[in-house]
Amino acid sequence: MAFSKAQWPRRLRSQEWYSGTSRDAIYHRGWLKNQGYPHDLFDGRPVIGILNTWSDLTPCNGHLREIAEKVKAGIWEAGGFPVEVPVFSASENTYRPTAMMFRNLAAMAVEEAMRGQPIDGAVLLVGCDKTTPSLLMGAASTDIPSIVVTGGPMLNGWFRGERVGSGTALWQMSEAIKAGEMTPDEFLEAEQAMSRSSGSCNTMGTASTMASMAEALGMALSGNAAIPAVDARRRVMAQLSGRRIVEMVKDDLKPSDVMTRAAFENAIRTNGAIGGSTNAVVHLLALAGRVGLDVTLEDWDRLGRDVPTIVNLMPSGKYLMEEFFYAGGLPVVLRSLLEGGKLHGDALTVSGRTMAEEVAEAKNWNEDVIRPVDKALTAQGGIAVLKGNLAPDGAVLKPSAASEHLMVHRGRAVVFEDIDDYKARINDEALEIDETSIMVMKNCGPRGYPGMAEVGNMGLPPKVLRKGIKDMIRISDARMSGTAYGTVILHTSPEAAVGGPLAIVQTGDFIEVDVPNRRLHLDVPDAEIAERLAQWTPLPDQPQSGYARLYLDHVQGADTGADFDFLVGCRGNEVPRESH
Q: Which is nearer to ligand FES, 488 or 496 (CB)?
A: 488
Nearer to ligand FES, 93 or 507 (CB): 93
Provide the minimum distance between the beta carbon of 544 and ligand FES in the complex, in angstroms, as a whole number.
31
CA gap 544, 440 in Å, rounded: 29
- The single-letter code of the amino acid at 139 is A
Nearer to ligand FES, 92 or 215 (CB): 92
Nearer to ligand FES by Cβ, of 90 and 391: the residue is: 90
Do 235 and 149 meet the contact criterion of CB atoms below 8 Å apart? no
Q: Under 8 Å CB-to-CB from 42, ≥6 apart: which residues? A: 18, 19, 29, 81
d(CA 270, CA 336): 10
Smallest distance, ligand FES to C-beta of residue 167, A: 6
Measured from the CB atom, the residue of 315 and 501 that comes closer to ligand FES is 315
Alpha helices in 168-260 (DSSP H): 168-178, 184-194, 206-217, 232-251, 255-258
Whole-number Å distance between alpha carbons of 41 and 20? 13
State which residue, 51 or 464, has the beta carbon closest to ligand FES. 51
DSSP secondary structure string, 36-72?
---GGGGSSPPEEEEEE---TT-GGGTTHHHHHHHHH
Concatenated DSSP letters of 77-119: HTT-EEEEEE-----TTT-SS-GGGGHHHHHHHHHHHHHTTT-
Nearer to ligand FES, 202 or 260 (CB): 202
Q: Write the DSSP assignment of 481-512 as a string of letters.
A: -TT--SSEEEEEES-GGGT-GGGG--TT-EEE
Closest approach, Cβ 128 to ligand FES, in A, equals 3
90 within 8 A of 130, measured Cβ to Cβ: yes
Contact of 336 with 327, CB cutoff 8 Å = no
For ligand FES, give the closer residue by CB, 167 or 461.
167
Angle at 124 between CA 303 and CA 126, to 5 degrees: 75
Contacts to ligand FES by CB under 6 A: 60, 92-93, 128-129, 166, 200-201, 205, 207
Residue 453: φ, ψ to 5°: -70, 165
Phi, psi of 363 (to 5 degrees): -125, 140
| Minimum distance from residue 226 beta carbon to ligand FES (Å) | 14
Q: Identify the three-state secondary structure at position 579.
A: coil
Shortest Cβ 157–ligand FES spacing (Å): 12
Integer angstrom CA distances of residue 311 from 316, 335, 382: 9, 13, 12
Instruction: Kindly state the smallest distance separating residue 55's Cβ from ligand FES, in Å.
Output: 11
Contacts of 58 (CB under 8 A, 6+ apart): 89, 90, 91, 94, 127, 128, 131
Q: At its nearest, how many Å lie between ligand FES and the CB of residue 205? A: 6
Query: Rounded to the nearest whole angstrom, what is the least distance from the CB of residue 281 to ligand FES in the complex?
Result: 18
Nearer to ligand FES, 194 or 433 (CB): 194
State the nearest-atom distance from the C-beta of 201 to ligand FES, in Å.
3
Q: Which is nearer to ligand FES, 42 or 95 (CB)?
A: 95
**Which CB atom, from 132 or from 336, has the smaller least distance to ligand FES?**
132
C-beta of 110 vs 391, nearer to ligand FES: 110
Shortest Å, Cβ 472 to ligand FES: 25
Distance linking the first and last C-alpha atoms of the chain: 37
Least distance from C-beta 149 to ligand FES, angstroms?
Answer: 15
Cβ neighbours, 10 Å, residue 517: 11
Min CB(481)–ligand FES separation in Å = 8
Angle between helices 279-290 and 103-115 (to 10 degrees): 30
